[in-house]
Amino acid sequence: MAGIALALLGKLGLVISSLYSFSSIIFFRSSDPFRVVRVFQVLGVSVLLLFSAARLFRDSHWWRELLRSLPLIICAFGCLGVVGTVGNFWALRQPHSVTGYEESWFFICLAGFLLSVFILRRYKRHKNCTANHA
């Protein structure tokens, strides 16, 4: 039961810290430098919780699979966070507008999100196909 709780908390923290990681670095680095530190602390604690869950389950295969897909997961959620942040900037300004800097990061992160999800889906599909044939 403790392993399941650790895995759930670790995955939840990973998603939350990933959503805020890129937007904190890109938009809030100079105005709130401790925000970046807090985001990476949550990321570190989440990875430790996931590692602890893998140790409790005695499943090193699950841990290795997670480590392989972790950069893509962080990239996908981080890019999604930047897209959401730029959307909030656009919605909160009257008249609705974004700067050129925000617009360029929006399109970069939209492409990064789509690419990360495409690679993750392909990786998962390939893994499932090889597992079914074995």
> In sequence order, what DSSP letters do the residues of the chain get, joined into one string?
-HHHHHHHHHHHHHHHHHHHHHHHHHHSTTT-HHHHHHHHHHHHHHHHHHHHHHHHHT-HHHHHHHHHHHHHHHHHHHHHHHHHHHHHHHHHSSS----HHHHHHHHHHHHHHHHHHHHHHHHHHHHHHHHHH-
What's the predicted TM-score (pTM) here? 0.80
Predicted local distance difference test score (pLDDT) of residue 108: 95
Please give the angle made by the CA atoms of 39, 12 and 116, to the nearest 5 degrees. Answer: 80
pLDDT of residue 133: 61
Name the pLDDT band for 55 (thresholds 50, 70, 90). Answer: confident
CB atoms within 10 A of CB 5: 12
| Alpha-carbon span 14 to 73, nearest angstrom | 9
Confidence of residue 132 (pLDDT cuts 50, 70, 90): low
The model's pLDDT over 61-105, given as tens digits with 9 standing for 90+, comes to 777 888 888 889 899 999 999 999 999 999 999 888 899 999 999
**Chain segment 98-126, per-residue pLDDT in tens:** 999 999 999 999 999 999 999 988 877 77
Rounded to an integer, the average pLDDT of 11-28 is: 89
Instruction: Flag whether pLDDT at 26 surpasses 60.
Output: yes
pLDDT value at position 75? 92
Task: Determine the Cα–Cα distance for residues 6 and 47; give it in Å rounded to an integer.
Answer: 10
